[in-house]
Amino acid sequence: MNKFESTVAKMKTINIHHLLLIVMGLLILHWYWLIEGYGVNMLFLDQWNILYPIIKQEGLWAAFSQLNGPHRQGLGGIIQYVIYPLSGWNTQWEAYVAVFFLALTTLIAVRIKQRLTGTLTLADLCIPFLFLSLQLYESILVAPNLSHGVLPLFLFFLSAYVMCCVADRWQGPVLAFLVLLTTYTGFAFFSTVLMIPFLFIKFWRSIDKGLQRTFFFSGVFALFFGVSFFYNYTLQPAVLCFKFPHDRPWEYLTYSFHVFNNALGLYELPTSIQIIFHQWLTPIPFILLTGLWLGTLYRLVHKKMSSTADNILFYLISISLLFYALTAVGRVCLGPESARAPRYLIYAIPTFFAIYLILTKWLPSSRWKSLLMTILFLLLVSKEVRLHQYLPSRLQEYKMTKLTWKECYLQHKSIQKCNEQVGMVIVMEESFSEDFLRIMEKNKLHIFR
């Protein structure tokens, strides 16, 4: 490559960086508009439980180790411990922090893609639409909880970045520290499950004695952090009907089909197509995903984990599959309709990004590849346009419901009466909820400001 061609290539990269930042900026501004227009300073459902140690001033460790269903709050609890007292218990602060971490994760993903493929292209404008999508509205606007979705996604990609972009002598210690965070931060503990064997395998296959010691002790610390999760641990099923094993264990698999199909948007197709799909094709996408995962595992085994890209792909797809498996175990009793919860969509992003990496890294450059990337970009943009059209009306319903509950409680001081008035549970009828509200009223916080 001569000097002129090198300069042109560098200018293209700079322009793509600028375009990526512009697209990200527009998507972030859209989120700001939604939070300002439809956000309500009103805690919702699980938030009353997970934030109770903070309002009771039980300390940083209580916020960090707080249980919420099968997982803990971790890093999310620390951030909540800081932002809620500072904001006078304004829930919109958590929504803004969530968007910040989604933007940060987007930048990390862009860096991973550039490192693994050696370049950025116009096709990479797809990446911001994947991570800053409006389909994540429930995790940000309805019932924000940083530890359920946003922070696990951030920690997944931060771990992947360390795997691909950090020198071996630092990789082990940094990953061991991240295991401390992933173990305690929501469903990020799936990363712990994968990282502990990864560190010991790196120890086993390292030739350098210094690196062997580094990865061994990193693995030991990571294992300690992983086991520490179970200290004072009590399983809290998220649903009353939970039972293990399920009476019809094959439904674990069919439930996983529905979670992944929902992430693909297949339940938004016309009804006639959905009927045909349900009758004949329901398991096909999940089977293809499993086949892709087995393909990455095969490459790892036969290449002896020599390819960083293969490590990343296996890691990212495994994250989604582990989530689908655990969700099926915990929620199958609710029936397949519950598999369509919007908050589950964020856990498909690692797999979608892995598929995107496969397309961009291994498909040979051709007109067909350019056409495929163009179609993918247009599909992602059209999805956001469609969400922009119908999402405001849905968010307005949530907004009015929360405001109605707030006005009712300020007037009647009855959780039960106000839940009945709005036709849904905004605040759980538990003793801690009453205590929570009394503390807030006494200190003029949250809805009493």
Whether pLDDT at 4 is above 50: no
> Is this structure's pTM higher than 0.75?
yes
| Interacting residues of 359 by C-beta distance below 8 A, sequence separation 6+ | 369, 372, 373, 376
pLDDT for res 28: 94
| Interacting residues of 256 by C-beta distance below 8 A, sequence separation 6+ | 286, 324, 325, 327, 328
The CA distance from 240 to 248, in Å, is 17
Whether pLDDT at 86 is above 50: yes
What would you report as the CA-atom Rg of the chain, rounded to the nearest whole angstrom? 23
Whether pLDDT at 30 is above 70: yes
| Interacting residues of 386 by C-beta distance below 8 A, sequence separation 6+ | none
Question: Does 103 or 164 have the greater pLDDT score?
Answer: 103
Which phi-psi region, left, alpha or beta, contains residue 234 (left: φ > 0; alpha: ψ -120 to 50)? beta
* Joined tokens for residue 158: 């931060």
pLDDT tens-digit series, residues 195-247: 999 999 888 877 888 888 898 999 999 999 999 988 888 877 777 788 888 88
Mean pLDDT over the full length of the chain: 85
pLDDT tens-digit series, residues 420-439: 888 888 887 667 778 888 88
The CA distance from 359 to 353, in Å, is 10
Place of tokens 């999805």: 383
Q: Within 13 A of 425's CA, how many CA atoms are on the CB side?
A: 9
Q: Are 195 and 182 in contact (CB under 8 A)?
A: yes
Q: Are 130 and 354 in contact (CB under 8 A)?
A: no
Which amino acid, one-letter code, is at 156?
F
How buried is residue 237: exposed, middle or buried, by Cβ count under 10 Å (0-12/13-18/19+)? middle
Extended strands (E) in 262-412: none
DSSP 8-state secondary structure symbol assigned to residue 339 = G
* Joined tokens for residue 78: 């620390």
The domain limits of the chain are 169-235, 237-362
Most confident of the following: 5-19, 175-189, 386-400: 175-189
* Continuous H helices in 135-270: 137, 150-165, 168-184, 189-205, 209-228, 251-263
Place of tokens 């994947």: 130
pLDDT for res 405: 86
Phi first, then psi: give them for residue 22, nearest 5 degrees: -65, -45
Could you give the percent of the chain with pLDDT greater than 90? 29
pLDDT tens-digit series, residues 234-273: 877 777 788 888 888 888 888 888 888 888 777 776 666 6
Whether pLDDT at 376 is above 90: no
* Joined tokens for residue 244: 């293990």
Rounded average pLDDT over 103-129: 91
pLDDT for res 13: 52
Q: What size, in residues, is the chain?
A: 449
Rounded average pLDDT over 146-152: 91
pLDDT band with cut points at 50, 70 and 90 for residue 315:
very high
Angle at 59 between CA 54 and CA 60, to 5 degrees: 90
